[in-house]
Amino acid sequence: MSKSSKLENEAAQSTSALGPLIGVAREDFVGAVALLLRESASDPKRLMKHAQAMGEDMVKIMTGKSDLAPDPKDKRFMDPAWQYNPFFRAGAQYYLAVQKGMHNWLQDLELDDLERDRANFISNIIIDSLAPTNTLVGNPTAQKRLIDSGGLSLIKGLQNAYKDLTQNKGMVSQVDKRPFKLGENVATSKGSVVLRTEMMELIHYAPTTDEVYEVPQLTIPPQINKMYINDLSPEKSVVKYQLDNGIQTFVISWRNPSKEQGIWGMDDYIRSCLEAMEAVSKITGSKKVNVSAGCSGGQTASVMASKLAAEKSDLLGTLTLMVCVLHPKQLDIEAGSLVSENGMKLARRRAEKKGVIKADDLSRAFAWLRPNDLVWNYVINNYLLGADPPAFDVLFWNADATNLSASLMGDFLTLFETLAFTKQGEVEMAGHKIDLSKVTSDLFILGGVTDHITPWKATYRSTQLFGSKDITYVLSQSGHMQAILNPPGNPKAKYFVQKKKGKLPETADQWLEGTEEVKGSWWPYWMEWVQKRSGKQKPAPKELGNADYKPLDPAPGLYVVEER
C-alpha cells in the first residue's frame, strides 16, 4: 500500500462525528494533567524509582546494550534506517524508553479506573507529539527525500506549511481539495430540490429504472456534515445504488447554521424531518415512508420515530440506522474518559454564548484527540516530505463540515447525559416524552468492526431499545464512514450476520457467537431487505416533485455550497 493510500485509509476511519466528544472541555485536559502532577508530588520515592529505571535504560542506549525496539506494526518506524543506522536506532530507543517509563509510572500511580484511562489518554497524546519522526532531523525518510529532491521537498514543505497558516487557520491539511467540484465529479446523481425551508432542502432524485417500488426512502443525514456523503461518486453512491434498484430516493440537505440560527434545537429539526416526510408521502402517493439515517442523523431519526409513535402515526415505514449509538457508555471511545459533568456544563455554556460551534473548531478538536492519525501523519507527509495531501473524496467531504447549532448541541448533550433512549417516557424532547419501546417499525442496524467513533458493540445496544419484532443487525468489516461506503466490487469486503433468524440476543458478544461471515458488500443484503418492505412495483414517475412541490434547483441543491 502506498503512503498516500495509507493516509487515505487512516483518515477515512477517523472522519469527524458528533458524539459525547462535544462534552469534552479544555478544562478536563488541564485537570487530567494536574492530577498526574499532583500524584507525582505525593510520593517522591515512587518518582525517584521510575526516574532511576529510565536512567538505566538511557545508559544502556548510550553503551549500545539496549534491546528496546519499535513494534514491527508501528508505521512510523518502518524505514530500515531505524534498524541499521546507529544514530536513528538510538533516537528511536530514547523515545521508546520515555514511552516505557511513562507507561510503568502510570501503572504505579494510585488512580481509579476512570482516572487511569484519562491519564493514559493524555500521556499518549503527549508522547506521540515527542516522536522523532515528527521532525526533519529525526526522520530518515524525510532526509532521504530532501537529498533525492535536491532540496525541493523542503521548499514544497515550507510552501505547504505557509498555505495552511494563511488559508487553513494553522491546521495541517488532510486533503487536496482542488480536484473536486460539487455536481461535476462529486454528488453527480440527477435530481432536484422540491422543497426549501430556512432549515433544509428536500432533494428528489430522478429514477434510473422503468419501474419503482411504491414506498419511497428518505435519508436524514447528520447535522454536522453535508448530505452528499450519500452521493460521493458513481462508484460509492448510496443514492445511485438505491435508484438503480428501483427505490424512490429522497435526501434532506441541512442548512449550515449561522450565529443567529444557533437557536435551532432538536424540536426544530424534528419538525423539518416530519415536513420532509409529509412532502415525500404526497409526492409519491405512499402512505408510508422508509427512513435511513447515520451517526447523529440516526439519533435525530430515532427521536422522530418516537414522536410519530407517540402520535400513533403510521407514516414511518422501516428504519435503517447506520453507525449510530443510542445507548452510550462513557468508556466506549478512547476520549470518553475526558467527558465530565463539569465539562458538559462548560461546553453547553460556551456554546450558548457563541450561538454556534464553528465547523473549524469541531474539526480541530477532533483532530487533536487522534493526533497520530489526523495531525502528525500529515505534518510528516505535507511538511517534512513536501508531498501534497491525498486527493480523496471522503476526506474532501469530511473537510466540508458545517457549524453546529448551540441549542442542538445542548439537546445532544441531554440525550447523552440522561440516556434518554434507554428510558421509557422519562425524558421530554421535541414535544413528547421519548419512548423507543413504542416504535414497532422493522429495523436494520449497521455497525463497523473497526469503528472507534461509534464502536460496533455500542451500536448493537440499539437492538434492545425498540419495540420492533423484526430487527436485523449487520456488522461491516470496516471503520466509521468506510463501513457505510462499502459498495459491491470491493474484493476485500465482508460482513457478519446472524445465522439463525429470530430474536437477537441481549449482548453483542452473544450475537457474534451466532454469526456467519459473508464475502462481499452488505449493500445487496440491505437492498433486498428494503425492497421486501417497499410494497409493489409501479411505473417510474416521468417528472420530479408534483404540482405542490415543484422542482427548484438541480441536485445537490444550494445549501451544500453555501458558505458560513
Rounded to 5°, the CA angle 313-317-323 comes to 115
- Give phi and psi for 483, each to the nearest 5: -65, -40
Are 524 and 242 in contact by the 8 Å Cβ rule? The answer is no
- Whether 273 is catalytic is no
Are 13 and 448 in contact by the 8 Å Cβ rule? The answer is no
Are 410 and 265 in contact by the 8 Å Cβ rule? The answer is yes
For 35-57, the DSSP string reads HHHHHHHH-HHHHHHHHHHHHHH
Here the cell at position 217 is 426512502
The CA-atom distances, in angstroms, between 471 and each of 181, 313, 445, 540 are 39, 20, 8, 30
What is the DSSP code (8-state) at residue 374?
Answer: I
Are 392 and 450 in contact by the 8 Å Cβ rule? The answer is no
CB-count burial class (<10 Å; 0-12, 13-18, 19+) for 501? exposed
For 385-397, the DSSP string reads S-PPPP--HHHHH
| Alpha carbons 95 and 87: distance in angstroms, whole number | 13
Q: What is the CA radius of gyration of the chain?
A: 25
Q: Which residues pair with 292 in a beta bridge?
A: 219, 320
DSSP E strands in 413-510: the ranges are 424-429, 432-435, 443-448, 471-476, 494-498
For 492-507, the DSSP string reads T-EEEEESS-SPPPSS
Candidates 86, 170, 153; CA nearest to 380 is 153
Identity at 508, one-letter amino acid code = A
- From the list 295, 351, 356, 359, the catalytic residue is 295
| Alpha carbons 422 and 104: distance in angstroms, whole number | 39
The CA-atom distances, in angstroms, between 368 and each of 62, 106, 234, 442 are 33, 22, 33, 39
| Alpha carbons 440 and 467: distance in angstroms, whole number | 5
Please state, as a whole number, how many other Cβ atoms lie within 10 Å of the Cβ of residue 391.
15
Are 379 and 174 in contact by the 8 Å Cβ rule? The answer is no
| Alpha carbons 358 and 366: distance in angstroms, whole number | 13
Rounded to 5°, the CA angle 331-325-557 comes to 130
Identity at 561, one-letter amino acid code = V
Is there a cis peptide before residue 556, judged by omega within 30 degrees of 0? yes
Please list the active-site residues: 295
